[in-house]
């Protein structure tokens, strides 16, 4: 199994509070991704990173920011959580551009509930 | 844009039945195609992949053939087990893309 951990695994928070989710990898892969999973929507890309301090937006990036100061860590921050951000969040990594030559490997997920 | 459409579930089968989960795609160029499986409470695991037309991906008794003429990548298994109960996601990746495009997932329940 790819060495990907996510923390916390579960979190309940209140509307308006900041939340940071962490993804940690031990594979030294260049690409890292944050997805959210919601019923009826599959997985949707929030942000991704193609190197240290190199990040870009995905299709559902509003309300989220990311940072990557080290190869192994990719942080997802909800600056002011809203109920619409209640979801399961997955981190993924890839050795190369994830989706063509190189498959993505997924972490175990973080279940976030915003009350 | 690039997208994947897969059959809606849930799909309920008896043990040892034949499984087909349909997946069709829209993409420019020549994408790579993947099937991922998600067991309850877990992340997604790569089940199989195919990177060019007519390739057949296979793993754990599951198979899927990349059909460019029908833009399809249907997942099949000859005899399902209760342990195959999970959600299955079809996905595609393109040379110009940076991530995967996922279908909405198909839930499979196999009963004894």
pLDDT at A2: 66
CA nearest to A106, candidates A37, A4, A29: A4
Let me know if B10 is exposed, middle or buried by CB neighbors in 10 A (0-12, 13-18, 19+).
Answer: exposed
Pairing of strands B86-93, B75-77: unpaired
In the predicted structure, residue A86 carries a pLDDT above the cut 90: yes
In the predicted structure, residue A88 carries a pLDDT above the cut 90: yes
| Nearest by CB: A43 against B31, B95, B102 | B102
In the predicted structure, residue B111 carries a pLDDT above the cut 80: yes
In chain A, the residue whose alpha carbon lies closest to the alpha carbon of B41 is A108
Convert the pLDDT of each residue in A44-71 to its tens digit. 999 999 999 999 999 999 999 999 999 9
Partner A contacted by B57 (CB < 8 A)? no
CA nearest to B86, candidates B56, B34, B32, B45: B45
pLDDT at A40: 83
Structure tokens, A12? 């309940």
Distance from CA of B76 to the nearest CA of A (A): 20
What value does the mean pLDDT take over residues B103-108?
94
pLDDT at B109: 96
Convert the pLDDT of each residue in B5-40 to its tens digit. 998 889 999 999 999 999 999 988 788 999 999 998
pLDDT at A42: 86
Distance from CA of A108 to the nearest CA of B (A): 4
pLDDT at A91: 97
pLDDT at A1: 59
CA nearest to A48, candidates B93, B37, B50: B93
Convert the pLDDT of each residue in B38-85 to its tens digit. 998 889 999 999 998 999 999 999 999 999 999 999 999 999 999 999
| CB pairs A-B closer than 8 Å | 67
For B81-106, b/e burial (b = at least 16 CB within 10 A) is eeebbbbbbbbbbbeebbbbbbbbbb
Distance from CA of B104 to the nearest CA of A (A): 4
pLDDT at A99: 61
In the predicted structure, residue A101 carries a pLDDT above the cut 70: no
Suggest the residue from B31, B99, B104, B106 to mutate for an interface test with chain A (most A CBs closer than 10 A): B99
Convert the pLDDT of each residue in A10-46 to its tens digit. 999 999 999 999 999 999 999 999 999 998 888 999 9
- Report chain B residues whose CB lies below 8 A from the CB of A41: 104
Partner B contacted by A40 (CB < 8 A)? yes
For A77-114, b/e burial (b = at least 16 CB within 10 A) is ebeebeeebbbbbbbbbbbebbbbebbbbbbebbebeb
Partner A contacted by B34 (CB < 8 A)? yes
């Amino acid at each position: 199994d790819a060495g990907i951990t996510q923390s916390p695994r579960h979190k309940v928070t209140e509307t308006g509070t900041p939340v940071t989710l962490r993804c940690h990898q031990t594979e030294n892969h260049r690409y890292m991704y944050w997805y959210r999973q919601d019923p009826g929507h599959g997985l949707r890309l929030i942000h991704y990173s193609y190197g240290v301090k190199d990040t870009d937006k995905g299709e559902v990036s509003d309300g989220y920011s990311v940072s990557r100061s080290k190869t192994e860590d990719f942080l997802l921050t909800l600056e002011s959580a809203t109920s619409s951000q209640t979801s399961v969040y997955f981190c993924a990594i890839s050795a190369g551009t994830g989706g063509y030559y190189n498959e993505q490997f997924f972490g175990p997920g973080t279940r976030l509930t915003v009350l | 844009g690039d997208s994947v459409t897969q059959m809606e579930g849930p799909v309920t089968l008896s043990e040892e039945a034949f499984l087909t989960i349909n997946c069709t795609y829209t993409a420019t160029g020549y994408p790579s195609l993947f099937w991922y499986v998600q067991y309850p409470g877990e992340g997604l695991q790569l089940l199989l992949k195919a990177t060019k037309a007519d390739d057949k991906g296979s793993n754990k008794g599951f198979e899927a053939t990349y059909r460019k003429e029908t833009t399809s990548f249907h997942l099949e298994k000859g005899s399902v087990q209760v342990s195959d109960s999970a959600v299955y996601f079809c996905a595609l990746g393109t040379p110009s893309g940076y991530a995967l495009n996922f279908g909405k997932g198909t839930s499979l329940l196999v009963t004894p």
